[in-house]
Each structure stands twice: as structure tokens, then as C-alpha cells.
Structure 1
Amino acid sequence: MIEAFIFDLDGVITDTANYHYLAWKALGDKLGIKIDEEFNETLKGISRMESLERILIYGNKQNDFTVKEKEKMANDKNQYYVELIKNISPKDILPGIEKLLKDIKSNNIKIGLASASKNATMVLENLGLKESFDFIADASKCKNSKPNPEIFLMAAKGLGINPINCIGVEDAIAGIDAINDANMYSVGVGDESSLGKANIVFSDTNKLNFKYIVENYSCCSNC
């Protein structure tokens, strides 16, 4: 029985990937590390500090800075990102998402957010969607980033729902792994070849269909 949908934010509710890319690129330029959009794809779904570590390894500078210096770098990146996303508005909600949220709500199913972004609440407010969510997991309280299931389990607990009765929606490989390890039903958004571990995959958010997801969940549960 489905009792909750738990969503990732970036790439599922709205697309802030380019803002993250611009912020990381600005930091990388300061460090003499050139990153492109292809490399930025490897940062999807993981925490800020882990993203920084990957960038430093990519530039062979992983041993050049203290923990305190790295924390300042991550904070500088975040400040730039926050400035960039100030102009996000309801027009930036990805296609099909508003209808899906309404369909979920009309069936008395709870909605949660499990995003690695510490700015998730602000983004939802700018999108005008904050009131649609019954619980927003606090990424700053997570000790482990995706693919660890901690943030999805935190969301389920906050909603008061057994994870087995939750559907997780993600666009990143790390996120799908996290959903699966949380013992939830996983819905992928994107390339099926890379999100093949998901229970079901839709090519884009506009294809997300509440009835179809429910039917496939029921079929999977009865197998």
C-alpha cells in the first residue's frame, strides 16, 4: 500500500544543475581546476563536501588544503549558488510535476523531500511548492550522503511511514541506489541505461504518471 512519495529536488522538481555547475566552475577556476558539464554530471545527487573532494581529486589537489580551508571553499561555492537561485520561480518547475503532486495529494498520500541540498527549503519556497510537502528532510543533519539511504529513511521517519510503503523519485544513480537500499520502490527519471536499477524509469518528468506508477507498484508488490 502506497502511503508516501519521497522526491529528490534537483532534476526532479526543478533543474538547478546548471546553477550548481556555474558555482562549482567558478570555484574550480579559482583553484586552477577546469571542470566541464560532463564532469558536473558525476556530482549529481551527492553532498557539497563530497562534490568538493571529487573536484580536488580531479585536479590532483586533494592533499593541498586543510579541512578548514575545504569548508570555506564549500561555503564560498554555496554563497554563489544561493545568489544564482534567488531568481527561481514557479516557471522553473519541471513539466508534469505540478500535476503529479496534485494527483498524489488528491489520493491522500503524503509527500516528502529527500534532497542532498541544504538550500532545498528555499528553492521550494521560490517555486511556490513548499506547502505541497508534508516533510522536508534536513540534509545538514545527515552524516552520510547518497548512495547511503539515510536521507530517504529520514524523510520516511519524518512522515511517519514505513519505508516499504514509500515510493522514491530520483534522477541520479546514487539516488536510485539510496532508494533501493532504503527498501522503497524506486522511480527513475532520465536515461534508462544508467538508471536501470530503478523499479521503473521515465525518460523525463513530463512522462511521470501517477496511475501508471501505482499500477506498477501494485504489480511489483504482488510478485
Structure 2
Amino acid sequence: MSNQINAFIFDLDGVITDTAEYHFNAWSELAKDIGIEIDEEFNEQLKGVSRIESLQRILKHGGKENEFTEQEIIELADKKNDHYKTLIAKVTPNDILPGIVDLLEDIKASGIQIALGSASKNAPFILEQLQLNRYFDYIVDAGKVKQGKPHPETFLTAADHFDVPYETCVGVEDAEAGVTAIKDASMFAVGVGSEPILHKANIIFPETKNLSLEKIKSAFNAES
């Protein structure tokens, strides 16, 4: 591993801002419409995965995985997304998680490129709402990849855009699927959240407010 970091690739939900509550509200309402109950514990399984994959997990959870055609599944996913978009229209810079702006400033000051790697097609809109566009050199959303997390394609696509070796990239994630994707991309994984869930990460911070470029660089160099 090189001792120089060439790029940071950030997840959006749960790292830059917390839209998990909006996702949960939109999914639970849709689930209720088709006779399935989901709770917040089940919702953990939906973090970091694509919209269609999330819906398929909900249908399986409710024992209804064979009751809908492919077209109906797409329509249901679109219905969820329409509801979600009305909720995220209320997002403002006040919804940026603690410590994130300082970290982005430090990375920019170091001359390191920054990408967003999100499972959400709404990622560009949310970044705009948060007024964070200026920090990001590239956005990889669900529309740019064929395979969502835990497949590494999201992270590989960002690195390929920057034309940098994968092992010189740092991924920042709060979901197990995301950390798996980073590691499978041969990148350095920064986890934000619970150690038991994110144990595959190279370094784990309990909350975004604890994130530190110096600590990340130090841990990265220690593994170089």
C-alpha cells in the first residue's frame, strides 16, 4: 500500500447527513400499503443497498417475494422514492452531521480529491440541499453503476474516474455493506458507528464528530 492518499470516497446516508429516518418512513409506509410490517431493527438491513434490493428484502421479510411482477416491483420502488423525495426536500445545511465540514475542509486543504459514492440516485439533489457540492470532485450514484454495495463497483468507479490506484483510496462508510465494498475494492476502510457491525474496517470512529484526517492518515500510513 502506498503511503500517499490520493482520494477519499464518502458514503452519503449516515456519513454526510442522516437520511436513514426518511428512508425508514418511506419504506415502512410502502410496506404497510402491501400488508408488511417493518421495524427499525429490520431497517438496518436496508442501509447501503439499492432501492430494488431493499424492496426485495422487504417482500421476502413479509413472505411476498413471489406476489409481484418485475414491473410492479419497479412501480413500488418508484412510489417509495416519490415519498422519500418529498421528505428530503426539507433537508438543509443544518442536517450535515457534526465534524463533516471540518473533515472535508482538511481534505481539500491537503489537495486530496473527494468523491461521493452513494446507493441513492437522489445523492446530487441532497448534496445541493446541504450546499456541499463545492467539496466533491465526482459523484457516483446508483445511476452510474450496475451493481450496488456490497459489490465494490461504486468505489472502483470513483477511483477509475480519478485514475488513481485503488490502494491509495480511502472509503468512509457507516454500513456493513459499504465497508465490505471498500475492502473488496482493495481500499482503506474508515467505519463510522458500531464496532461489531463495522469490524472489517481498518479504523472505526464511533461518530462523525470524532473523524480526524490526521488519525486516518496515521492509520493509513501504519498499514502502508
TM-score norm. by structure 2 comes to: 0.97
Deviation at 1:79, TM superposition (A): 0.4
Is residue 175 of structure 1 aligned with residue 178 of structure 2? yes
Structure 1 runs (4+) deviating above 4 angstroms are none
Query: Which residue identity is paired with 1:145?
Result: G
Tell me the SS of whatever aligns to 2:223.
helix
- Indicate conservation of the 8 Å contact 1:134/1:159, yes or no: no
Per-residue CA deviation, residues 9-50 of structure 1 (Å, 9 max, x unaligned), is 000000000000000011001001011111111100000000
Counterpart of 1:132 in structure 2 is: 135
* RMSD (Å), alpha carbons: 0.7
Per-residue CA deviation, residues 186-219 of structure 1 (Å, 9 max, x unaligned), is 0000011111100000000000000010011001
Counterpart of 1:107 in structure 2 is: 110
Deviation at 1:138, TM superposition (A): 3.1
Counterpart of 1:150 in structure 2 is: 153
What is the percentage of aligned positions where both structures have the same residue? 54
Query: Which residue identity is paired with 1:6?
Result: I
User: What is the aligned counterpart of 2:9 among 6, 11, 14?
Assistant: 6
Tell me the SS of whatever aligns to 1:167.
strand
Counterpart of 2:91 in structure 1 is: 88
Q: Which residues of structure 1 form unaligned runs of 5+?
A: none
Query: Which residue identity is paired with 2:70?
Result: V
Counterpart of 1:119 in structure 2 is: 122
Deviation at 1:141, TM superposition (A): 2.8
TM-score norm. by structure 1 comes to: 0.98
User: What is the aligned counterpart of 1:204 among 207, 214, 217?
Assistant: 207
Distance 2:27 2:144 in 1: 23
